[in-house]
Amino acid sequence: MAYVISDECISCGACESECPTEAISAGETQYVIDADTCIDCGACASVCPTSAISPGA
């Protein structure tokens, strides 16, 4: 299951550069993760300053 970004996202962009598959991009109001590209590595979650990234349900 792909990671997801919650509304706690402050659009800082820290996660985008950490993603090895470039699954993260800027959305209209916050960053988003492409579920088809995400490999569940968790690299993005470890750098998020607001803990807005978690494994999807």
pLDDT in tens, 43-54: 999 999 999 999
- Domain count along the chain: 1
Determine the residue type at 27.
G
pLDDT at residue 57 tops 90 = no
pLDDT tier for residue 1 given thresholds of 50, 70 and 90: confident
Residues 6+ apart with CB under 8 A from 52: 5, 6, 7, 8, 9, 10, 30
Instruction: Give the chain's end-to-end CA distance (angstroms, integer).
Output: 7
Q: Which CATH number does the domain housing residue 29 bear? A: 3.30.70.20
Q: What pLDDT, in 10s, does the model give residues 10-45?
A: 999 999 999 999 999 999 999 999 999 999 999 999
Residue 4 neighbours by CB distance under 10 Å:
16
Residue 37 domain boundaries? 3-55
